[in-house]
Structure 1
Amino acid sequence: MTTISQTAGRSLRPSSSGGFFSTLANAAYSLFDRLERRSAIKTLSELDDRALRDIGINRSQIEDAVYGQVKTELTRYL
């Protein structure tokens, strides 16, 4: 007696529509993340040097602080 499995002909890849929507969602997330970071950089750039010193960064560290690269240095001193 021969048994034929119903799953034998199915592909193991996810459907193409799921991949498309996942890619679209990732692109939208990346765009919103980029816009939010640009806004944060603009806001910090508008602060004077004293205000920047109060939060623990100087003007040359603004982009690094927004992207999270200064945080590890700051926690080392705390």
Structure 2
Amino acid sequence: MTSISQTAGRSLRPSSSGGFFRALASGAYALFERLERRSAIKTLNELDDRALRDIGITRCQIEDAVYGQVRAELTRYL
């Protein structure tokens, strides 16, 4: 008598829990990124204008610098 493995009839598609955990990890990563950026903005806002000028940004460019929107402008000076 031969036996048939129970796994032979199962499909190879991923379970729905994999998608849930992937979405959960993605949300946690997005939250972590947001908290890190808010912390960077707070730290830069605590600097005086001279220190900001030393790193090549003005006070009105802080959020753009943290979110990477003035990168091309900053690399021109490096």
TM-score with structure 1 setting the length: 0.81
Q: Which amino acid in the other structure matches residue 33 of structure 2?
A: D
More helix per residue: 1 or 2? Answer: 2
Structure 2 partner of 1:3: none
Which stretches in structure 2 are left out of the alignment for 5+ residues? Answer: 1-7
Shift of 1:77: 3.9
Q: Which amino acid in the other structure matches residue 27 of structure 1?
A: G
Shift of 1:75: 1.4
Task: Tell me the secondary structure at the aligned position of residue 31 of structure 1.
Answer: helix
Shift of 1:11: 6.7
2:61 matched to 1:61? yes
What is the CA RMSD across the aligned residues, in angstroms?
Answer: 1.6
Which stretches in structure 1 are left out of the alignment for 5+ residues? Answer: 1-5
Q: How many residues align?
A: 71
Provide the rounded CA distance (Å) in 2 between the counterparts of 1:46 and 1:76: 25
Provide the rounded CA distance (Å) in 2 between the counterparts of 1:45 and 1:75: 21
2:31 matched to 1:31? yes
Structure 2 partner of 1:48: 48
Structure 2 partner of 1:18: 18
